[in-house]
Amino acid sequence: MKTRARLPRLVATGATLALALSLSACGDGDGGASGDDGKIHVLVYGDATNKVEKQLVDTFNKTSDVKVVLDTIPGADYQQKLQTIINTPQAPDVFFNWGGGSIKPFVKAGLLLPLDDLIKKNPDLENKFLPSVFNNAVVDGKPYGVPMRGTQPVLLFHNKKVLDEAGVEPPKTWDELLDAVGKLKDEGVTPIALGGGDVWPTQMWFQYLYDRIAGPELFQKALGGDKSAWESPDSKKALGMIRELVDTGAFGKNYDSVKYTNGGSVQLVAAGKAGFELMGSWYYSQQLTDHQEFAEKDLGYTAFPAVEGGKGDPADVAGNTNNYYSVMKKTKHPEAVAEFLKLMYSDEFVKAQLEIGNLPTTTNTDEFIETSGTPEYSRFQYDLVADAPSFQLSWDQAYPQKASSDMHKAVQQFFNGQLDTDGFIKAMQALPTE
Amino acid sequence: MTTQITSARPAAGPRKGTRRRPPASSATTVGRPGFAWALPAALFFALFAIVPLIMVAVLSFMSWDGISPPRFTGTDNWSRLMDDPVMLKSIWLTLLLTALGVLLQTPLSIVLGVWAAGHQRNRAVLSVIYFIPLLLSATAVSVLWRALLDPNFGIPADAAWLFGDGNLFGEQATAIGVLAFVSTWQFTPFHTLIYQGAARAIPQVLYQAAEIDGAGRYRQFFHITLPQLRNAMITAMILMIVGGLTTFETVLILTQGGPGTDTTISAYYMYDKAFKGFDYGTGSAIALALVVASTIISLIVVRVSGYDKMRGSAEGVS
């Protein structure tokens, strides 16, 4: 009988607990912008650069009636979390993204605000940015993002000492690269370090070779849904050259077990066990952090070599063009958002980004480069990007996010010989383009 | 008299037939906790396990990318999975890794557990050291081994005679070997603990009797210890199998299913489809298939081993 008497109380306790739990789950509204609370929520990728973003928000809030609230999501989970909240009341007003395919599904679902009206009122929102960068957030002819943070072109880095010992000059053409590979092999070092375990570094070789051989049009065609681009002669030629490079042992035999993200390939170059590494411009600060002495004395960098007879301009660049701020259609304060976005080409923004090693893509960046921590390197990058006729966004960012995993698989499998040319072409043709 | 006995040991009663409610006045039910005690747990289980499971089941018949509203597509996801070579490969890989886990961990943990149940010198200290891998999170363990196995700066660089060019993560066989090794390294301590407890519970009289009969250490191990560990073995194996079928973190961090799809086990494939490919319908279908498979396999193990009518191992001793 005793147990009977307790039953209602237990039920009540249990129900209260369950309710409290579900309530607290809903109440986690810090990251939400539900309702009009006179604030703009800005969602950014959580990392060291947040320092600058916080500074700008503070600057903005000093003069504005509508206040900006900065929400951060730890890096590795950003894309997944964004996808989960973007169509809910928790969605922010403005959010960080990679342009290209990373926002295309949101545009298609009608969630994003086209910025052309805001730009009509204030043309500087477009004019103050480098066009090749700005255009990467244009979807179906309409701009959906304003560049923020810095550009990250992919460069060919090298160990000056290793190259000297092998009697090799930094290559300007593909043949010179092949020649360097042979000489480095004779010296007993791995010619090119590659963090194949992460797969995206492997993809960088595809991006550049396709661009040099076929020009940017081939990839744009493929991205637009024309699958025949992948079986074109240029595509096959690029694949043949990759195959040749891998088969000569340019990357050694264990590249798929090496990672960039745990510092494996970085150390290979710094320790003098490898000559080259193809990597985004963040490589310099990575080496500076991991191997300061090497970075300051022996780390060299050049643009990706030209390919003789290729249709692509050797001045073309590939990599991460920049990050962007996109605006949700549902925002209640588009005017305030526009005011906030204007800060992204302000002197304060450029100076603060340069200070932490990022290279903004605004037209006034040029004036401040000398104030950067590594002016020579910043200047090289800036000129490279400013002079580039085309800036190819990384393949996995240009395609819709949902394609990236299958694309990475195909890239890795072709590289290590699990897929032949036809297999790779089929795999790329099977990728969703929207 | 008979009714009293059955009501005293309801678990041992016949499984089929009418359910007998023990008379409330019966002395044997005093002290048996009422159903209400299970209510909070049952509510939580329903809220956080049953409800999501039903939602996953529904989602497996839909197409959903997380943004646009979900659409019913009938059995599309399922029929596509049936013809998907990667799915078939992932099932095979999952079973292989599970089997490897059981085969590697069982003998190791039995030997260690029986040893740890003894009274040797330094036993307590060494047991604590052996236990350390379990205290680390699977993520930390995976990151650690990925770094230790770097071909140029890790263990393979110093032991080229064993690892060759050190391309452990670049070939299917060695990548699977690494995965099996790392899980074994991490989970053997846990199963050792189970066997240690079970070995301690073996009545000493059995060994004393065996000694009088002249049985040596090995005979004692194979004829007393092992048979007496039967129930512990079944428990440990069920845990290993269910754990093996749902392994995830080690694959996510060590190989990311690669090279290519060579280590894409089913649980990772689910993640790949749902959270990287934004195809939550297909992901749900894989998840549901995993739930069903794990349940069936566990049930089979329980049935075949007689776990469901498990007898106390001390029966007939005292």
Cβ neighbours for B202, distance < 8 A, ≥ 6 positions apart:
B224, B225, B228, B229, B313
Q: Do A210 and A287 fall into the same domain? A: yes
Q: Do A136 and A185 fall into the same domain? A: no
Return the SS3 of A303: coil
Chain-chain contact of A257 with B168 (C-beta, under 8 angstroms): yes
Tokens of A70: 């900065």
- pLDDT value at residue B309: 65
Distance from the Cα of B277 to chain A's closest Cα (Å) equals 4
Is 90 exceeded by the pLDDT of residue B72? yes
Question: Which stretches of chain A drop beneath a pLDDT of 70?
Answer: 1-36
Mean pLDDT of B145-167: 91
Q: Do A200 and A262 fall into the same domain? A: yes
A299-302 and A274-280 strand pairing: unpaired
Burial of A376 (0-12, 13-18, 19+ CB in 10 A): exposed
Query: Residue B230 maps to which CATH number?
Result: 1.10.3720.10
Q: Which of A7, A105, A412 sits opposite B258 (nearest CB)?
A: A412
Q: Do A402 and A418 fall into the same domain? A: yes
Quick check: A148 and A361 in contact, CB under 8 A? Answer: no
- A272-319 pLDDT per residue, tens: 999 999 999 989 988 988 999 999 999 999 999 999 999 999 999 999
Q: Is residue B63 part of a domain?
A: yes
Which range (A381-385, B138-142, B189-193, B299-303) has the least confidence? B299-303
Q: Is residue A172 part of a domain?
A: yes
Is 70 exceeded by the pLDDT of residue B29? no
Q: Which residues of A touch B33 (CB under 8 A)?
A: 3
Q: Do A82 and A190 fall into the same domain? A: no
Return the SS3 of A26: helix
Higher pLDDT, B86 or B26: B86
Q: Is residue A332 part of a domain?
A: yes
DSSP state of B225: I
Chain-chain contact of A258 with B147 (C-beta, under 8 angstroms): no
Query: How many folded domains does chain A comprise?
Result: 2
- pLDDT value at residue A285: 85
Chain-chain contact of A413 with B259 (C-beta, under 8 angstroms): yes
Q: Do A194 and A268 fall into the same domain? A: yes
Q: Is residue A129 part of a domain?
A: yes
Chain-chain contact of B152 with A258 (C-beta, under 8 angstroms): yes
Chain-chain contact of A416 with B276 (C-beta, under 8 angstroms): no
Q: Do A242 and A270 fall into the same domain? A: yes
Q: Do A54 and A118 fall into the same domain? A: yes
Q: Which residues of B touch A262 (CB under 8 A)?
A: 143, 146-147, 150
- pLDDT value at residue B28: 52
A391-393 and A317-320 strand pairing: parallel
- pLDDT value at residue B2: 39
Query: Residue A71 maps to which CATH number?
Result: 3.40.190.10
Helix H or strand E segment including A383: helix A375-387
Chain-chain contact of B165 with A253 (C-beta, under 8 angstroms): yes
**A72 is in which domain, residue-wise?**
38-148+321-362
- Mutation target among B29, B43, B65, B149 for the A interface, most CBs of A within 10 A: B65
Q: Do A192 and A262 fall into the same domain? A: yes
Q: Do A285 and A168 fall into the same domain? A: yes
Tokens of B257: 């299913």
Q: Which of B33, B35, B67 sits opposite A83 (nearest CB)?
A: B67
Distance from the Cα of B79 to chain A's closest Cα (Å) equals 18
Q: Is residue A346 part of a domain?
A: yes
Q: Is residue A161 part of a domain?
A: yes
**B151 is in which domain, residue-wise?**
56-306
